[in-house]
């Protein structure tokens, strides 16, 4: 089997499992409308003046590079250039840093008025910004200034790799010795959910020519890293982990919790796009088997990565359901694959203060499973 990058064909698992095309499209359209233009207690896209907008983390009442870059990716996948440009201008105006240790990076959190809550960056924001910008360039063409999308993407990736060279202040976002993404630039560990080898494969085509070999190696390194970080029986990954894959134990970061839910989603999308790593299929099977057998009826809990179910409610239970379903893009054709997709289909968007993270992963799962999370070349 070859991935969609090579074939240009994107699986629509909903259709394969018997859902009607018009119902699939309506579900996707409704999710976009709710997140971007729904009522005040549903949406989290907010426009600022005539030419800017931000995604609000409704649980923390801020705008984060995670959400801003997610929003841009959602927009380019849906051909929403106007909204894309508004999110990007807010990000570039209020989050991007021009000087100091973090120059060329984006402050990971700002208030809705644009004032910075923190100076430091979070690398998952940078990698999503770069990928969304490359897709925008390929789908819509480059414009002027900050809307020269491919130039902006290349500049972000250059900083991510070369920051701190030649005695300049700051640290790179990828560890040079092993090509693994860091949790934050000035640390020596990683977050398994940050590893997006399917993005790095494309960076290896479109980044600055001198860095393309780095990104090819980073894709290989991240795929191999996930073999170590994901539990050999359950497939579950911790939130944070050392470079050898062993979990970071402090502050309960060794559990399958909020950040970690993105790992099965990333495995599913990487396999759908490139199908480079057959291990991903087995890992997806392990994850779905755990949730359909051991955790059946307890899908709203916190878990140790060995499968121990803790007496603690998950902060983002809808996200668990969404990403389990997205793992079906890699999983073998099993009853559990269908069970996870059906459960997701019958789960509505989340409401309430914590809806932001759940519904971001929900929309990405909808895009992926309907064949609409695409590589724009």
At residue 85, the 3 state secondary structure works out as helix
Catalytic residue, chosen from 127, 259, 270, 358, is 259
Could you please report the per-residue DSSP string of 136-161? Answer: HHHHH---SGGG-HHHHHHHHHHHHH
Residues 6+ away with beta carbon under 8 Å from 203: 130, 131, 134, 157, 211, 212, 215, 218
**277 is an active site residue:** no
**Strand duo 309-313 + 52-55: pairing:** unpaired
Rounded CA Rg of the chain: 19
Q: In what order do the strands lie in the sheet with 309-313?
A: 255-256, 301-304, 309-313
Using CA atoms, how far apart are residues 226 and 246, in angstroms rounded to an integer?
A: 11
**22 is an active site residue:** no
* Of the candidates 30, 196, 142, 101, the residue with the CA atom closest to the CA atom of residue 204: 196
User: Could you give the residue ranges of the DSSP H alpha helices within 163-296?
Assistant: 197-206, 212-229, 262-273, 279-289
Catalytic residue, chosen from 42, 57, 62, 66, is 66
Active site residues: 66, 259
């Amino acid at each position: 089997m070859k991935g969609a990058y090579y074939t240009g064909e994107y699986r629509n698992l909903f259709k394969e499992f018997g859902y009607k095309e018009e119902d699939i499209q309506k579900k996707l359209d409704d999710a976009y409308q709710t997140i971007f233009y729904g009522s005040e207690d549903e949406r989290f896209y907010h426009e600022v003046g005539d030419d800017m907008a931000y995604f609000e983390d409704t649980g923390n009442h801020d705008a984060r590079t995670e959400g801003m870059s997610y929003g841009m990716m959602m927009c380019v996948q849906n051909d929403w250039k106007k909204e894309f440009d508004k999110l990007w201008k807010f990000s570039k105006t209020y989050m991007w840093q021009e000087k100091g240790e973090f120059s060329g990076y984006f402050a990971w959190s700002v208030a809705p008025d644009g004032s910075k809550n923190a100076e430091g960056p979070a690398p998952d924001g940078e990698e999503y910004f770069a990928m969304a910008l490359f897709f925008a360039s390929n789908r819509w063409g480059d414009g002027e200034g900050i809307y020269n999308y491919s130039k902006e993407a290349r500049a972000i990736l250059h900083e991510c790799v070369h920051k701190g060279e030649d005695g300049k202040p700051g640290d790179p976002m990828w560890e040079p010795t092993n090509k693994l993404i860091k949790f934050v630039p000035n640390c020596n560990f990683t977050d398994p959910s940050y590893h997006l080898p399917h993005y790095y494969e494309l960076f290896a085509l479109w980044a600055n020519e001198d860095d393309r070999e780095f990104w090819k190696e980073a894709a290989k390194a991240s795929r191999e890293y996930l073999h170590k970080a994901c539990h050999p029986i359950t497939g579950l990954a911790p939130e944070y982990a050392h470079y050898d894959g062993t979990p970071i134990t402090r502050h309960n970061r060794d559990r399958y919790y909020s950040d970690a839910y993105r790992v099965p989603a990333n495995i599913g999308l990487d396999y759908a796009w490139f199908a480079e790593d057959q291990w991903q299929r087995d890992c997806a099977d392990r994850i779905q088997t755990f949730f359909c057998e051991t955790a059946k009826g307890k899908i709203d809990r916190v878990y140790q990565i060995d499968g121990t179910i803790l007496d603690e409610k998950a902060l983002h239970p809808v996200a668990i359901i969404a990403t389990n379903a997205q793992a079906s893009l890699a999983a073998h054709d099993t009853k559990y694959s269908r069970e996870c997709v059906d459960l997701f289909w019958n789960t509505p968007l989340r409401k309430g203060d914590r809806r932001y993270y759940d519904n971001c992963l929900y929309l990405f799962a909808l895009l992926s499973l309907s064949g609409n999370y695409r590589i724009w070349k």
